[in-house]
Amino acid sequence: MATDLLKTSGLKTDEMIINMGPQHPATHGVLRLLLTLDGEFVKHCEPVIGHLHRAQEWQGQNRTWFQYQALIDRVDYLSGMFTSWAMARAAEKLDGMNIPLRAEYMRVMVSEMNRITSHLLWLGTYLIDLGAMFGFPFYPFREREKLLDLFEAIAGQRMMFNYIRIGGVMREAPAGWFAKLKQFTQEFPDRIDEYEAIVTKNPIFLKRTKGVGILKKELAMEYGITGPCLRGSGVNHDLRKFRPYSVYDQLTFAVPVSAGDGDTWDRYMCRIKEMRQSNEIIKQCMEKIPGGTSEELRERRKECNSCGKEDCQHCGGDLKLLAKKQNAGLRIKAGEAFDAVESPRGILGCYIISDGSDKAYRFKWRNPSFTNLSILPELLVGHPIADIMAIFGSIDVILPDVDR
């Protein structure tokens, strides 16, 4: 490095301590990095977290199950479906519920859609981090808008869905929803090709990402990194395959694992490939979902006049959406349970102790962003300032998810 050269020639140089954040345009919310710089190179890095702490776990212990379901989307605001799902799965495990098959398929569909929106937002902001300031980032947002519109139609909200509930999902999709989603899944691969055409082969992009922020396989496993960061380092680990939950064992999809050495470009490619796989999963779900599209189901329910009986072949059994009634008196059996889902950022787990009342006795979240952020000092040391954002962006941290 340049500074070594200066030192050998007898010049005195000084280190500079610089605060990156919490008010900084590129720290994705409010992360503070306490950097010790030697010239432009990072010698030491200390992430200071906690600026967004909202006591999510404490809130969970002081609100009824029914109330808290509406709050947990805020834990990781870019993938609310997954936080809801993790808590729902833990509570269902405790309660011993059987989730109707249609609800399971709906859950897989909406959460894979959410994975796509999350990765799309990551793609846009990551390019902003790399300095493609006003240009390309809005193209991923164009596709993301379409999915958000679909979320709005089905859940009533664009980001804080409160759609996946303990016992199933909240609503049936409105008329035309499946057709729109189908159209989206048909054109989305072309859109990914577009992004790839402008980004993946861009020489400046390659220069900025290839060989930058190399995360070794062993180090990643030591730190407990999960999600695309781990798979980008070449570890084949995905809960959806490794320990299939919900209906993932009935779907065919590949887990993209990088063959490279785990630099930022590998993590980028992992996410791009994951979006394609998610698209395939949604397509399969739409074919396999019991009851077919919402219009078909509505036609069938006319025959039994929406009787709602458990054994009705038109609206009971697999075709139900909720296994448990949703009201303020929602109670979960006493005991403790942990369950996890594979969120866009990694393994998102929820640990619950219930005393059988309408509130949880203890909540604990296992957040992928928090674990993934811990690798940051290891990756940053020795890199110039410009690479900080290239590396930090590539591990895709959501600060509310870190601080809860």
Partner 1 sequence: MHREAVIEVSKFARLTFVWVGIIFGAVWAACWLVGIALPTWIDQTFQPPAVALAWSNTLRVIVPLVAVMVFIPINAMFMVLAERRALALFTVRKGPNRVGPDGLLQTAADAVKLLFKEDITPRGADALMFTLAPIVFFAPSIIGVIPLLAAATNNHGLFAVANLPTGIFYVLAVSSIPVVGIVMGGWASNDKYSLVGGLRSAAQAISYEIPLVLAVITICLMAGTLDVVKIANQQAAVPIGDQAVPAGLLGWNIFGGGALVQAVSALQAGAPDAAFRLVAAVLLALCTVLLFLIYITGACAEVNRIPFDLPEAESELVSGYNTEYSGIKFAIFFLAEFTNLFVVSTIAVVLFLGGGHGPFPGFDEAAAAQIERVLHELSGPIGWLFNSLIDGPTLVAALWVIIKAYSLVIFAILVRATLPRFRIDQLMDFGWKRLIPLSLILLIAVTFLRELV
Residues that bind partner 1 (CB under 8 A): 16, 18, 24-26, 40, 127-139, 142, 198, 202, 204-205, 207-208, 384-389
Q: Which is nearer to partner 1, 137 or 227 (CB)?
A: 137
The alpha carbon of 288 is separated from its chain's Cα centroid by a whole number of angstroms, namely 24
What SS3 state is found at 89? Answer: helix
Q: Which is nearer to partner 1, 187 or 296 (CB)?
A: 187
For 286, the token pair is 């739409």
Q: How far is the CB of 289 from partner 1 (least distance, A)?
A: 30
Q: Which is nearer to partner 1, 23 or 327 (CB)?
A: 23
Q: How far is the CB of 179 from partner 1 (least distance, A)?
A: 19
8 A C-beta contact, residue 220 and residue 262: yes
Q: How far is the CB of 202 from partner 1 (least distance, A)?
A: 7
- Alpha-carbon distance 53 to 22, whole Å? 13
- Alpha-carbon distance 285 to 294, whole Å? 13
Q: Which is nearer to partner 1, 26 or 71 (CB)?
A: 26
Largest CA distance in the chain: 90
**Buried residues in 26-65 as b, exposed as e (16+ CB within 10 A):** bbbbbbbbebebbbebbbebebebeebeeebbebbeebbb
8 A C-beta contact, residue 389 and residue 130: yes
Q: Which is nearer to partner 1, 55 or 386 (CB)?
A: 386
What SS3 state is found at 61? Answer: helix
Encoded amino acid at 21, one letter: G
Q: Which is nearer to partner 1, 71 or 198 (CB)?
A: 198
- Pairing, β 335-343 against β 41-48: unpaired
Q: How far is the CB of 227 from partner 1 (least distance, A)?
A: 23
- Alpha-carbon distance 188 to 116, whole Å? 10
For 318, the token pair is 């697999």
Q: Which is nearer to partner 1, 25 or 189 (CB)?
A: 25
Q: How far is the CB of 241 from partner 1 (least distance, A)?
A: 33
Q: How far is the CB of 369 from partner 1 (least distance, A)?
A: 19
Q: Which is nearer to partner 1, 76 or 143 (CB)?
A: 143
Q: How far is the CB of 386 from partner 1 (least distance, A)?
A: 4
What SS3 state is found at 47? Answer: strand
Where do runs of H (alpha helix) occur along 289-398?
294-304, 368-373, 376-380, 385-394
What SS3 state is found at 13? Answer: coil
Q: Which is nearer to partner 1, 38 or 238 (CB)?
A: 38
Q: Which is nearer to partner 1, 127 or 399 (CB)?
A: 127
Q: How far is the CB of 137 from partner 1 (least distance, A)?
A: 7
Q: How far is the CB of 63 from partner 1 (least distance, A)?
A: 38
- Alpha-carbon distance 175 to 290, whole Å? 17
Q: How far is the CB of 33 from partner 1 (least distance, A)?
A: 12
8 A C-beta contact, residue 355 and residue 138: no
SS (H, E, C) 195-260: HHHHCCCCHHHHHHHCCCCCCCHHHHHHHCCCCHHHHHCCCCCCHHHHCCCCCHHHCCCCCCCCCC
For 99, the token pair is 């989730």
8 A C-beta contact, residue 59 and residue 286: no
